[in-house]
């Protein structure tokens, strides 16, 4: 149960960001997120955080 499949981890968590206002998930390039070029599709806000791994 403790082993993790790298391909699955990459598919679930790589380049996935969460809007800080509404919680909508967006997959995008990290450099675009840092520059503020990505906007949330749901609320229009441009502030994102990284998806937390549990």
pLDDT digits (tens, 9 = 90+) for 1-54: 567 899 988 888 999 999 999 999 999 999 999 999 999 999 999 999 999 887
Which of 36-50 are b and which e, b meaning 16 or more Cβ less than 10 Å from the residue's Cβ? eebebeeeeeeebee
Tokens of 50: 């990284």
51-7-21 Cα angle (round to 5): 15
Q: What is the pTM of this model?
A: 0.81
Terminal CA-to-CA distance of the chain, rounded, Å? 14
């Amino acid at each position: 149960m403790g082993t993790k499949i790298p391909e699955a981890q990459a598919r679930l968590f790589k380049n996935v960001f969460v809007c800080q206002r509404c919680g909508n998930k967006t997959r995008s390039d990290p450099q675009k997120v840092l520059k503020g070029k990505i906007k949330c599709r749901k609320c229009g806000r441009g502030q994102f955080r990284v998806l937390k791994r549990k």
